[in-house]
Structure 1
Amino acid sequence: MEMASSRSSKKHQTRTQKMQRKKRMEELLKSAYSSYKNHLSDSPLYNNSNALSLFLESGRGDKLSSNLKEYIQKLLKINMEGPYGAEWPEEEKVKRREMSSPEALYIFVYKGPSTPSKAEAPIIGFVHYRFTIEEEIPVLYVYELQLEEAYQGMAVGKFLMQLVELIACKNCMGAVVLTVQKRNTSAINFYLNKLSYNISAISPSKVYQSLGVIGEDKSYEILCKTFDHEAKAVLEEE
């Protein structure tokens, strides 16, 4: 009877711990979302040799203007139709739904000084990110990082990802996670070699490899950069 009672007590304790952890995660995400307007308050300055000035602005999916929605759709099509190939028509529908979600947070990038006139400052790109849970780890998930072709290769993408990582750390996220199409070799090189991201243990290629499954594959990889031991053990180590 004592052994049965002990096992029951341990099960109850485990359930309680899981519930407490889940509650902490939910509170963490809620706090991160509630402060999204302040995510750019301590953003680093963009420095490069191209004499390019940038102005950043926060946004949320359910508060986008029709002009911003149109811009996002257009830039996504230009940049992503090629890497997605035949999958693009269906993927475009998904991205349109994701775009206007209340959980979709944005950093819009304008070319211009710190206080531009919106009529004169052209938008040159954006980041779409969210706070979520992956394998019981709170993470900042980058849904999109898109720049106009003329501003690619000018370290703007690197600057934005460093800003995203700063936002993740300030909001106690364990990692930054993103999905990249395998056909998008320039993006894969950018994340793996220039920003020191890793193919995550939850990426399909790693999962199939760990299971010894041959012949199964997906068109994308999941990449991550972790900030603590727990996130590293779950999201990086096989």
Structure 2
Amino acid sequence: MEAKGEINQRETRMKRKEMLEKKKSVHEIMKTAASEKDCLSHFPHFRHYQRNGLCIHLESGRGDKLSSDTKKCILNLLKLNMEAPYGPEWPAEEKVKRREMVASEARYIFVHEIPNEDAIKESESVDKERKFTCYPIVGFVHYRFILEEEIPVLYVYELQLEPHVQGKGLGKFLMQLIEFIACKNRMGAVVLTVQKANLLAMDFYLHKLKYTVSAISPSRVDPLLGLEKSYEILCKAFDHEAQVVLEAS
């Protein structure tokens, strides 16, 4: 008959082994996700959006490979949409966003507006596909694969659209794509931060897309702390572990 101490030691070794195996598995998931060169290659039907008077082409990109024109476009769109919600915090926040946008781990989906539908129908060849990138960028998604509470997640840093393409289903289309990308890369959830003052964005994520205020959001961690913060962290979990850790009610 085993002594109690031997049983405890065996259980400790088993738990340690499980933890190491889980850590290795998570490391492989993150490594594979980070190595993805073109997130859109797995979702060809999402490259184009032709609804509600819009003719859109999507292109993927990386933060450390942005052209100077693209950087300028990103900053202009950020200021246009976010200066008001951030209020007096914007100058400091803008500096943070300048650094974030060019990080090697930053992944992008760029939204190009095409003058007419005939341009998209011309050809499906790779060479002609690239020419769509010469059309103006009217929006983008900046996201990253990160660990949140040891859970692999796709974190949406930005979803920005020019005013004239808003309210036409494009934002929902992009977030559907983001969720597909997250699941394809075995992420446990999609997580994002929204300014409380951005009422339209809060309504969009909470009510239209059914995201929830995450258990890691300041208002859930400590209600008093939450009152001091100008933002909420929202999430949508795809597996039980992520639900328990990130959505716990």
TM-score, normalised by the number of residues in structure 2: 0.87
- Whether the 8 Å CA contact 1:36–1:105 is kept in 2: the answer is no
Larger helix proportion of the pair? 2
Query: In 1, Cα distance between the equivalents of 2:204 and 2:239?
Result: 23
Query: In 2, Cα distance between the equivalents of 1:71 and 1:187?
Result: 21
Of 180, 204, 228, which residue of structure 1 is paired with 2:239?
228
Q: Does 1:175 align with 2:189?
A: yes
Instruction: Spell out structure 1 runs of 4+ moving beyond 4 A.
Output: 213-216
- Whether the 8 Å CA contact 2:155–2:190 is kept in 1: the answer is yes
Pairwise CA distance, 1:118:
5.2
Aligned to 2:5: 4
Pairwise CA distance, 1:73:
1.1
Q: Does 1:33 align with 2:34?
A: yes
Give 5+ residue unaligned stretches, structure 1: none
Is the alpha carbon distance of 1:134 and 1:36 closer, same or farther for their aligned partners in structure 2, counting shifts above 3 Å?
A: same
SS of 2:38's equivalent in the other structure is: helix
Pairwise CA distance, 1:138:
1.1
- In structure 2, what residue type is equivalent to 1:108? F
Query: In 2, Cα distance between the equivalents of 1:53 and 1:122?
Result: 12
Question: Aligned pairs, how many?
Answer: 234
Give 5+ residue unaligned stretches, structure 2: 121-128
- Whether the 8 Å CA contact 2:50–2:56 is kept in 1: the answer is no
Q: Which digits, 9 at most, give the CA deviation of each residue in 1:125-147, with x for residues without a partner? A: 10000111112211110000001
Aligned to 1:79: 81
TM-score, normalised by the number of residues in structure 1: 0.91
Of 198, 205, 223, which residue of structure 2 is paired with 1:184?
198
Root-mean-square deviation over aligned CA pairs: 2.0
Query: In 2, Cα distance between the equivalents of 1:145 and 1:214?
Result: 26
Alignment of 1:214-225 (within 5 A): 216-225=227-236
- In structure 1, what residue type is equivalent to 2:146? T
- In structure 2, what residue type is equivalent to 1:26? H
Is the alpha carbon distance of 1:156 and 1:214 closer, same or farther for their aligned partners in structure 2, counting shifts above 3 Å?
A: closer
Is the alpha carbon distance of 1:119 and 1:169 closer, same or farther for their aligned partners in structure 2, counting shifts above 3 Å?
A: closer
Alignment of 1:1-238 (within 5 A): 2-45=3-46, 46-50=49-53, 52-112=54-114, 113-114=119-120, 115=129, 117=131, 121-209=135-223, 213=224, 216-238=227-249
